[in-house]
Amino acid sequence: MKKILSLAVLFLTGIAAHAQKQVSATSPDGQTKVTVTVSDRIYYDVESHGEQLFKQCHIGMTLSDRVLGEKPVLKGKKVTTVNETITPIHPLKYDKVENNYTLLTLTFGGNYKVEWRVYNDGVAYRFITALKGDIEVMSEDGTWQLTTPGKLVLQQPGGFKTSCEENYSVVSSNEWKSDDRMSELPILVMSEKQKVLISEFDLFDYAGVFLKSCGEGSNAFSIIQPKCPIEYEDQGDRSHKILKEADYIAKTAGTRSFPWRYMYITQSDTQLPENVMPVRLAPANVIGNTDWIKVGQTCWDWLNGIPFGPDVTFKSGINLDTYKYFIDFAARNGVGYILIDEGWALNTRDPFKTNPEVHLPEIIAYGKSKNVGVILWLPWLTVEHHMDLFEKFEEWGIKGTKIDFMDRQDQWMINFYERVAKEAAKHHIFVDFHGAFHPSGLDYKYPNVLTYEGVRGMEYNGSCKPDNSVWLPFIRNAVGPMDYTPGSMLNYQPERHHGNRPICSGVGTKVFNLAIFVLAESNLQMLMDNPCRYDQWPDCRDFLTGVPVNWDETRVLAAEAGQYCVTAKRKGNKWFIGGITNSTERDLQLKLDFLPAGKDYHMTNFADGVNAHIIAMDYLRQESRVNSTTTLPIHMARNGGWCARIDVGK
């Protein structure tokens, strides 16, 4: 990413621990403040817009031979203001992001620092160490103490081994018990006036974070992390059985910066889906030229891979004719890729022996002739045992890989992600991580990492319900790209849903399934349905295949976390609007004042039909002229949606 940097040093003072015990830093607009208290530990408070959100939170890091943050000796402080503009390589929300903050750096005896960034809309901190050799990190102390009780929106797995696909649960902060299930990141803290999204970023050579309650009534929660595995064996074709763990969470370089822990603070629910803290905290691109990385849409065969109908004159399946059919559809509709899931190889453990029914070289050549690239699915364990496959895939002409079933966030697995990204980049291969945890910076350091799963998406069929999916713009997708695999053409209300592979269907109305294609942010957006079904609804097909994956501008028009979200996004001279609701129907008024003034524009929109609350397939397609003074009344049925395309260049 390109940066224009302007630094203004306010003051630099070396101080002894007894001379000052408390240090504060305030955001550029004066509305957000962090106060750090140095006593027996390092404590901090966070205030925003006149409200104290967190109090006496404490941080530290236990190493094998010392504890950073225990009886700390403050040696110096430095306060700096930073004003820069960032141009993301893959702009998921904006083509330019302002990165303006107050930087507070506290230097402590023992060769470590804590760095704070205070933004108008958030706070982030991280440890920086300057220690000799390697160090063993036994545990990390990071505790959030809420000033007043609030609601927590959590994703609670049964243990550290998780694909991060659990449904969300809403828990009162003072009722979360220490023996209750922990939560993955990100989590959403909902107080009466403000909301705070908590996550991590710049995570490398370290263990990922989970959060656990400090006890019922404590109104507090703290970091817990998996230990590093040191002995393991293969368990089937896609998992490790961990035989022995170290007593540390990470063995790493003693001189380094550690991951950011950040709090994105909002006063309106419409701000949550607009979170750009990941862009601000991201590491630099290390792979150099990225012109070869092409984002876009892809067809996909796993859920609905059996074409049928009058134009299908061949036996469908995992074979050459089926994938040529997918390629022909992609070429006709401007879709850049097809993704071939499990079955293209004779054995999932051997990526070099292909299924003779597939005729992979012919498929690759056929796709190239139609300007359609090929992506191949792989279990992660096969990649681990055959890291040279990226070189071979480059020779074959493969454009990308979908790597699956990692299901862990320990240091070993975090390092696997980076090894894959690095090796794939060497051979001009992009990566989609499934069975993955939340985005934490790898996709900025290695922009060939296009997307991650880590979400209860459409693969879950009947249990992927709008009541859960409506949280995604506010939590999971707010922290980075998300492979939700949207775009179902066969649609049911939850109580009537049925269908499994190879005839999968989506929960929610047809327009819900169109609209979430606009809302779901991913640099590689899946078309989860079969080409033959898209061709049955050409108006829906044309809308979906016209939706960009990167955007110049994002505006949330109406939102209530966990209830509904309506967002407008611009790419060039086209605006797309996507709105979804949970099991409650909605009537909203949308102002189109974001459009350029002084001219009428053509709008095509899709709305739930009058019977969509029962027959989810019911929808209306409408065309009209709109302008910047237009206020649109929209209706969304239960588990429904509304979406539109506006061409401002016409």
Domain holding 588, by residue range, is 564-647
Record the tokens describing residue 446, joined without a space: 């290695």
Mode of pairing for the β-strands spanning 122-145 and 51-63: antiparallel
Residue 288 lies in a domain: no
CA dihedral 159, 161, 165, 170 (to 10 degrees): 20
- Same-domain check for residues 247 and 310: no
Residue 625 lies in a domain: yes
- Same-domain check for residues 95 and 215: yes
Distances (CA, A) of 169 to 152, 154, 183: 8, 5, 10
Residue 398 and residue 430: Cα distance in Å, rounded? 9
* CATH number where 607 lies: 2.60.40.1180
Residue 302 lies in a domain: yes
Cis ω on the peptide bond leading into residue 273 (within 30° of 0)? no
* Strand, helix or coil for residue 307: coil
- Same-domain check for residues 517 and 568: no
Beta bridge partners of residue 33, listed in sequence order? 26, 47
Amino acid at 461: N
- The ranges of the chain with pLDDT < 70 are 1-20, 650
pLDDT of residue 19: 43
Residue 57 lies in a domain: yes
Q: Among all chains, which residue has been given the structure tokens 């070993």?
A: 412
* CATH number where 543 lies: 3.20.20.70
pLDDT of residue 650: 63
> How many residues are given for the chain?
650
247 is catalytic: no
Among 324, 295, 396, 413, residue whose Cα is nearest residue 354: 396
Beta bridge partners of residue 200, listed in sequence order? 261
- Same-domain check for residues 210 and 246: yes
Among 127, 124, 79, residue whose Cα is nearest residue 104: 79
Split into its structural domains, the chain has a count of 3
Residue 289 lies in a domain: no
Record the tokens describing residue 504, joined without a space: 């999968």
Record the tokens describing residue 644, joined without a space: 């539109």
- Same-domain check for residues 26 and 174: yes
pLDDT of residue 649: 79
Q: Which of 404, 453, 483, 608 is catalytic?
A: 404
Q: Among all chains, which residue has been given the structure tokens 């033959």?
A: 532
- Same-domain check for residues 579 and 525: no
Region at 569 (left for phi over 0; alpha for psi -120 to 50; beta for the rest): beta
Which of 520, 548, 576 is the last residue before a domain boundary?
A: 548
Q: What is the pTM of this model?
A: 0.95
Which of 248, 281, 314 is the last residue before a domain boundary?
A: 281
Residue 555 and residue 587: Cα distance in Å, rounded? 19
What angle in degrees, to the nearest 10, is found between the helix axes of 360-369 and 389-396?
Answer: 50
95 is catalytic: no
H/E stretch holding 277:
helix 277-281
Which of 548, 578, 593 is the last residue before a domain boundary?
A: 548
Residue 494 and residue 613: Cα distance in Å, rounded? 10
- Same-domain check for residues 536 and 606: no
Record the tokens describing residue 50, joined without a space: 């006149």
- φ, ψ of residue 232 to 5 degrees: the values are -160, 165
- Same-domain check for residues 505 and 573: no
pLDDT of residue 7: 37
Distances (CA, A) of 426 to 285, 398, 419: 14, 13, 11
pLDDT of residue 524: 98
Per residue in 183-210, pLDDT (tens digit) is: 999 999 999 899 999 999 999 999 999 9
Record the tokens describing residue 382, joined without a space: 């096969």
- Same-domain check for residues 277 and 303: no
Q: What residues have CB less than 8 Å from 307, skipping those under 6 apart?
A: 316, 322, 325, 326, 530, 531, 532
173 CB-side CA count, 13 A:
23
Residue 375 lies in a domain: yes
Residue 25 lies in a domain: yes
Among 341, 342, 277, residue whose Cα is nearest residue 97: 277
* Strand, helix or coil for residue 20: coil
Residue 287 lies in a domain: no
- Same-domain check for residues 98 and 239: yes
Q: Which of 443, 459, 608, 618 is catalytic?
A: 459
- Same-domain check for residues 113 and 240: yes
User: Is residue 85 classed exposed, middle or buried when 0-12, 13-18 and 19+ CB atoms within 10 A define those classes?
Assistant: middle
- Same-domain check for residues 496 and 576: no
pLDDT of residue 3: 44
* CATH number where 182 lies: 2.70.98.10
